[in-house]
Amino acid sequence: MAINVKLMKRPERDVSYLRASLKGMAITFRHLVAPKWTMQYPEQKSTDDYTISQRWRGTHRMLTDEQGRAKCVACGLCPQICPANCIKLVPGEDEEGHRYPLIYEIDEFRCVFCGYCQEVCPEEAIHVGVHYENSEYQRGRFVYDLERLCAQTHPVSTLWDPSDPRGE
Amino acid sequence: MTPELKGYLLVSVIKLVVVFFTLLVGVAFVTWLERRVAAWIQNRLGPNRVGPQGLLQPMADGLKNFVKEETLPAQADKTLFLLAPGLAFVPSLVLFAVIPFAAPFPLSFDFSLPLLGQFAYAGPMPMIVADVSIGLLFILAVSSLAVYGIVIAGWASGNKYSFLGGLRSCAQMISYEIALGMSIVTVLILTGSVGLTHVVAYQQQTVWFVFSLTLGFVLFAISALAENNRLPFDLPEAEAELVGGYHTEYSSMRFAMFFLAEYGALITMSALMATLFFGGWDIPFTAWDQGEPSVLKSLATLVVFVGKTFFFVFWYIWVRWTLPRFRYDQLMGLGWKIMLPVALAYIMLIATAVWAFDALGLADGALYGLALFGVNLVALFIVFRVLDSGRLIGQQYVRREGSA
Ligand code: SF4
Ligand code: SF4
């Protein structure tokens, strides 16, 4: 040997190459006919064994009140806490002194889906959602504006609850 | 040209074209099968989207390969680089020409066409592309040509990994070619002819060679794995060590050519195993297929032949997804220190047995085959007893402590 091969001490008896090979073949054949684990994704999104966690943090969703207005009061906490600095908020105020967001945009590309915005929001307005199908044809479409955030309908994340750490 | 010659040419060309395209379709099917079986073995489903059960996946792959960009490495030897895939591709398909794939087909015609004149053919038509009398020699000669494609690809890529792959395949092919040839010699001893039609006919009259030459079959099957660069002997490719080996630098259709070559060789080798040791197109337990040629018989034997070939293709895939790759020195050790001596000793054994049976006046026939089977069982037992005691593969690395 040109290269140094580390010499292993192999057992001299009780080694059966033939039997080992045949055993291997038998094992693979058993797997060949065994039931498969594959989930047929686009048609099938959850199985008995696998469902997406309720604590999944996906793209955002803005909850609305009875009149269909965003619950957000433009307090500015979420842009403040956002570690990725991806929330753009321009507050506005109507004649009765109610604050509302003039512009509210989340850049889902920069977002790290930490869920802090949901945790910090005093109005429980902004939420991360249990949702993962986000394909778009253009990069620009990943900046979700207020209208889009309000229009999302997927379930919202329950986040992590310290009193129920395993989500039971 | 005489009408007979023209008829002969016509029939040959038709057979050629049909077999060629069937083989290509077979290759496409086998790539699909490999991926599916691999997936099943890993408890997955595999490609099942394109067409029913994913059967059209090879088409999609082919299309993709066609539209991909072709790259030429700067250090590559251009001519050889472009030539290599073809060199690998051709021998793998040519080999099929000498394999008989069905019982003779009753076909005779005598017609004339304007301008071309008269065509005549007196059947029955042998179902083999080229019924050459040197069948087995042709196989040995052409199958060793396939290595050139790989070696040249490795050399021309101008890449050390490819080069190592080429080098390995060269060494591997030379080592296992010998064992392969030797295991075929026993077939020659029994049939007394190198034509594959004779091999099939002989097995029909006696028993399949898998019984009378069991150990020969084992040797052949193992060497065939090495000849085709299939796991556990896929050292020329060895993705884990050589990033793909000889085809590292290839892209698009040239890369696909290597794959066609690999799977073409896979099918051909399987067909060869079926022919040499499993009676070719012979339908077992009946002499019906040997009588007067008829369309039905041809079709039935064709189905049987395809079935046997398919079995070996499946076996190849199954082995690939079961056994891990050999280390290079183990491969060489196995080839030269086990396969070759065993093959040589086996030739001696079979020759002696044949001589002894002849001396005893045992006539060619089923009994003769069964007697040989007995001899084989003894040989198999001895070989695997020795091999199985864990001393042959990698023996040189076992340091004995205590004793001498
Ligand atoms: S999930 Fe985290 S990163 Fe994303 S917008 Fe909310 S606070 Fe910012
Ligand atoms: S924390 Fe809630 S209420 Fe405050 S700006 Fe963000 S979304 Fe609006």
Each residue of A68-104: pLDDT tens digit?
788 888 888 989 999 999 998 898 888 888 888 888 9
What confidence category does residue B195 fall into, taking pLDDT thresholds of 50, 70 and 90? confident
Distance CA B62, CA B253 (A): 8
B53 domain-assigned: yes
- Domain ranges (residues) in chain A: 60-151
Q: pLDDT by residue (tens digit) across B273-326?
A: 888 888 777 777 777 767 777 778 888 888 888 888 899 999 888 888 888 887
Q: How far apart are CA A6 and CA A79, in angstroms?
A: 59
pLDDT of residue B352: 86
* Binary contact (B399, A15; C-beta < 8 A): no
Residue B74: Cβ-neighbour burial (10 angstroms; 0-12, 13-18, 19+): exposed
pLDDT tens digits, residue range B84-102? 888 888 888 888 888 888 7
Strongest mean pLDDT among A111-125, B115-129, B199-213: A111-125
> Average pLDDT, whole number, for chain B?
80
Whether the per-residue pLDDT at B2 is higher than 50: the answer is: yes
The pair of three-digit structure tokens given for residue A61, joined into one six-digit string: 């969703």
Pocket test for ligand 2, best of A61, A65, A89, A93 (most atoms within 8 A of CB): A89
- Residue A64 is classified by DSSP as B
Hey, which of A80, A89, A121 would you mutate to test ligand 2's pocket, going by the most ligand atoms within 8 Å of its Cβ?
A121
Alpha-carbon distance of B289 to B125, in angstroms, equals 15
Atom of ligand 2 nearest to the CA of A77: 1
Is A105 in contact with A86 (CB distance < 8 Å)? no
Mean of all residue pLDDT scores within chain A: 83
Q: What is the pLDDT of residues B353-386, one digit of tens each?
A: 888 888 877 776 677 777 778 878 888 888 777 7
Decide if pLDDT at A2 tops 70: no
**What's the pLDDT at B281?**
79
**pLDDT above 80 (res A135):** yes
Going by pLDDT thresholds of 50, 70 and 90, the confidence category of residue B393 is low
The tokens describing B293, both together, are: 């040629």
pLDDT of residue A83: 92
H/E run at residue A93: strand A87-93
Cβ of residue B329 closer than 8 Å to a chain A Cβ: yes
pLDDT score for B125: 75
Residue B398 reports pLDDT greater than 60: no
Distances (CA, A) of B145 to B87, B90, B227, B266: 8, 9, 11, 15
The protein residue whose alpha carbon is closest to atom 5 in ligand 2 is A74
pLDDT recorded at residue B402 = 45
Between B375 and B341, the higher pLDDT residue: B341
Ligand nearest to C-alpha A129: 1
B390 CB near a chain A CB, below 8 Å? yes
Q: Out of B44, B329, B390, name the one closest to residue A17 (CB).
A: B390
- Residue of chain B whose alpha carbon sits nearest to that of A41: B49
Residues of chain A found within 8 Å of residue B39, distances taken between Cβ atoms? 38
Asked if this assembly's ipTM is beyond 0.90, the reply is: no
A113 lines ligand 1 (CB under 6 A): yes
Nearest CA to ligand 1 atom 6: A117
Total domains in the fold of chain B? 1
How confident is the model over B219-249, as pLDDT tens digits?
A: 888 888 888 877 788 777 766 677 777 777 7
Question: What is the reported pLDDT for A150?
Answer: 87
pTM of structure: 0.79
Residue A28 in tokens: 């693979």
Which of the four pLDDT bands, split at 50, 70 and 90, describes residue B397?
very low
Distance between CA atoms of A105 and A117, rounded to whole angstroms?
A: 13
Indicate if the pLDDT at residue B400 is higher than 70: no
Domain of residue B384: give its range: 3-388
Query: In the predicted model, what is the mean pLDDT of residues B149-175?
Result: 82
Q: For chain B, first and last CA: distance in Å? A: 78
A34 CB neighbours in chain B (<8 A) are 43
Average of per-residue pLDDT across B22-31: 88
**Cα(B162)–Cα(B242) distance, rounded to whole angstroms?**
7
Q: Is the pLDDT of residue B38 over 50?
A: yes
Structure confidence at residue B346 as a pLDDT band (50, 70, 90): confident
**B83 shares contact with chain A (CB less than 8 Å):** no
Residue B30: pLDDT over 60: yes
What share of chain B has pLDDT > 90, as a percent? 0
Q: What are phi and psi of B306, to 5 degrees?
A: -60, -40
CB atoms within 10 A of CB B1: 12
Bigger pLDDT: A106 vs B118: A106
Topology of domain A60-151, CATH = Alpha-Beta Plaits (3.30.70)
Beta strands at A143-144 and A99-107: parallel, antiparallel or unpaired:
antiparallel
Give contacts of A19 with chain B, Cβ < 8 Å: 388
Q: What's the rounded Cα separation, in Å, for the pair A53 and A127?
A: 15
pLDDT digits (tens, 9 = 90+) for A44-55: 887 777 888 888
Task: Report the SS3 class of residue A156.
Answer: strand
SS3 A92: strand
Query: Which residues in A have their CB inside 8 Å of a CB on B?
Result: 1, 5, 7-19, 21, 24-25, 27-29, 31-38, 40
CA B312 – CA B314 distance, rounded (Å): 5
B289 touches B301 (CB < 8 A): yes
